[in-house]
């Protein structure tokens, strides 16, 4: 009898362990099946990487009030606001922001200076070991010529995480934001005021220790450069063809895919060239087991009907291998507030995607990112087959991606106040 009771107790403990292990999935399935859209959003999936941003630093930081400005003596002729000329990353503005750091002295005063090339020691750690992280944000001009930054605090937060991951010096993100806004004011004539145009902001930190060897750098340089940019595509939106890469991965569990570090990008150049040679625009990154991650330098969204016929907007969950995109986060919040369909962050496998397309359940697919805003997808290539994805040729997008593109553009360039906009 005693043995039987012990065996029963043992079984109970074991089953509880299994339940505990799968509790999250079990509750998720149960809740998803049985609750209304808004309740699901509220209860379970309202996680945001960018909620309660802590931009402070435990170490002494530079301060925006100490910033000095040296104006250029040679103003550069501005390019015309033509999308074919004002392409991404082609032109720099008149000034840049520079702040140096050494282990002994800490951060220097922030300086706005005329745009110039650096002189850099050939042993500098950033040149050899990619000890470098960066950000990509945008500023816009509203209809009344005010300068508007979009969620720049989120970029500051993400940059602090990237810097920490590379043992680069920490800083106060709110202070860097103020310095960047100071730079935008100095170069405000460079921010185009045409619809679809903006000013791309590229903050960067490089390790500048003048010695070879893989270790934390004792010197660093933080700099911020600006470039005026036209719409990524003159038509606003343009669907792309993506290739599901089954042989090369962008990022692996335990790696640094979740950080915006330079070393993530160099190895993607060759696979990009290869897929472009076979008629695709971008790679769809996934793990060898088919776990879908991102598309090129964009986060991914699938708008489909699930097997029960309910509409769901699904995006791969942040598992450390995916960059926590700021546009991704914005789209999740906008669509959750629409309360028209379920919005879910979860593991997505390529097999589910192919099944949804083949069964006619895929409504639309798109990518998101600061540079493109929204990137509709018209076809995916997987295992020697092309799967066409629906979109409206008149809109150059699906209905939802078109609506979201308009919503986000209105927030960025419109005149209305919005919590994501800081008027400089
Ligand atoms: C790898 C990668 N994924 C996604 C994104 C989109 O992020 P965000 O929406 O913050 O621009 C970017 C662009 O920064 C990226 O480099």
pLDDT in tens, 167-218: 999 999 999 999 999 999 999 999 999 888 999 999 999 999 999 999 999 9
Please name the residue whose Cα sits nearest to atom 1 of ligand 1.
297
- Strand 342-346 versus strand 362-369 pairing type: unpaired
From 369, 327, 375, select the one nearest 154 (Cα to Cα).
Answer: 327
Q: What is the dihedral of CA 306, 345, 400, 285, to 10 degrees?
A: -100
Those residues whose C-beta lies under 8 Å from the C-beta of residue 203, and which sit 6 or more positions away, are 134, 135, 137, 155, 159, 176, 180, 222, 223, 224
CATH no. for 64-229: 3.30.470.10
Q: How high is the pLDDT of residue 24?
A: 42
Q: How high is the pLDDT of residue 144?
A: 84
Ligand 1 centroid – CA 369 distance (Å):
5
* Domain boundaries of the chain, sorted by first residue: 64-229, 237-414
Name the burial class of residue 319, with classes exposed (0-12), middle (13-18) and buried (19+) by CB atoms within 10 angstroms of its CB: middle
Please name the residue whose Cα sits nearest to atom 7 of ligand 1.
325
Is this structure's pTM higher than 0.75? yes
| pLDDT of residue 234 exceeding 90 | no
Q: Report how far residue 373's alpha carbon sits from residue 370's, in angstroms, rounded to the nearest whole number.
A: 5
Helices (H), 96-145: 125-129
Ligand 1 centroid – CA 297 distance (Å):
5
The domain defined by 237-414 carries CATH number 3.40.50.720: no
The answer to whether domain 64-229 and domain 237-414 are alike in fold is no
Substitution candidate for ligand 1 out of 155, 325, 405 with most atoms within 8 A of CB: 325
pLDDT in tens, 59-72: 999 999 999 999 99
Q: How high is the pLDDT of residue 414?
A: 83
Ligand 1 centroid – CA 294 distance (Å):
9
Mean pLDDT of the chain: 91
Structure confidence at residue 397 as a pLDDT band (50, 70, 90): very high
Q: Report how far residue 237's alpha carbon sits from residue 199's, in angstroms, rounded to the nearest whole number.
A: 19
| pLDDT of residue 402 exceeding 50 | yes
What's the rounded mean pLDDT across residues 47-66?
Answer: 93
Ligand 1 centroid – CA 36 distance (Å):
31
Ligand 1 centroid – CA 192 distance (Å):
23
Q: Which atom of ligand 1 is nearest to the CA of 154?
A: 10
From 371, 164, 156, 132, select the one nearest 265 (Cα to Cα).
Answer: 132
- Strand 282-286 versus strand 240-244 pairing type: parallel
Those residues whose C-beta lies under 8 Å from the C-beta of residue 145, and which sit 6 or more positions away, are 193
Substitution candidate for ligand 1 out of 332, 369, 372 with most atoms within 8 A of CB: 369
Q: Which atom of ligand 1 is nearest to the CA of 264?
A: 1
Structure confidence at residue 46 as a pLDDT band (50, 70, 90): low
Ligand 1 centroid – CA 186 distance (Å):
27
Ligand 1: residues with CB < 6 A are 136, 294, 297-299, 323, 325-328, 368-370
Please name the residue whose Cα sits nearest to atom 4 of ligand 1.
298
Q: Which atom of ligand 1 is nearest to the CA of 370?
A: 11
Ligand 1 centroid – CA 212 distance (Å):
31
């Amino acid at each position: 009898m005693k043995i039987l009771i012990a065996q029963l107790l043992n079984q109970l403990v074991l089953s509880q362990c299994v339940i505990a292990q799968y509790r999250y999935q079990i509750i998720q399935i149960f809740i998803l099946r049985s609750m209304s859209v808004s309740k699901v959003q509220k209860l379970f999936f309202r996680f945001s990487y960018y909620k309660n941003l802590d931009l402070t630093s435990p170490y002494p930081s530079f301060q925006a009030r100490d910033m000095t400005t040296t104006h250029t003596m040679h103003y550069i002729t501005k390019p015309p606001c033509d999308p074919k000329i004002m392409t991404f990353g082609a032109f720099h503005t008149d000034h840049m922001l520079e702040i140096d750091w050494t282990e002994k002295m800490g951060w220097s005063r922030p300086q706005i200076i005329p745009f110039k090339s650096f002189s850099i020691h050939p042993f500098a750690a950033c040149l050899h070991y990619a000890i470098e992280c960066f950000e990509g944000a945008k500023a816009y001009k509203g209809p009344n010529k005010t300068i508007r930054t979009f969620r720049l605090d989120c970029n500051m937060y993400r940059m602090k995480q990237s810097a920490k991951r590379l043992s680069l010096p920490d800083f106060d993100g709110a202070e860097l934001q103020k310095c960047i806004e100071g730079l935008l004011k100095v170069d405000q004539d460079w921010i185009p005021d045409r619809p679809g145009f903006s000013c791309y902001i590229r903050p960067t930190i490089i390790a500048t220790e003048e010695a070879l060897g893989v270790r934390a750098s004792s010197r660093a340089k933080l700099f911020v450069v600006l470039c005026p940019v036209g719409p990524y595509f003159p038509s606003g939106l343009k669907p792309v063809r993506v290739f599901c890469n089954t042989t090369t991965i962008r990022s692996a569990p335990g790696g640094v895919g979740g950080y915006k570090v330079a070393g993530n990008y160099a190895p993607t150049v060759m696979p990009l060239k290869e897929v472009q040679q076979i008629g695709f625009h971008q790679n769809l990154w996934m793990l060898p087991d088919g776990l879908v991650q991102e598309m090129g330098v964009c986060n991914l969204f699938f708008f489909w009907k699930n097997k029960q016929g309910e509409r769901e907007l699904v995006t791969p969950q942040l598992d450390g291998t995916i960059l926590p995109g700021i546009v991704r986060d914005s789209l999740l919040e906008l669509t959750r507030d629409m309360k028209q369909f379920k919005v879910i962050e979860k593991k997505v496998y390529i097999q589910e995607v192919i099944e949804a397309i083949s069964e006619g359940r895929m409504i639309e697919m798109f990518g998101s990112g600061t540079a493109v805003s929204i990137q509709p997808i018209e076809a995916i290539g997987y295992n020697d087959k092309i799967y066409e994805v629906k979109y409206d040729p008149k809109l150059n997008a699906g209905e939802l991606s078109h609506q979201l593109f308009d919503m986000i553009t209105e927030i960025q360039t419109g005149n209305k106040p919005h919590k994501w906009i800081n008027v400089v």
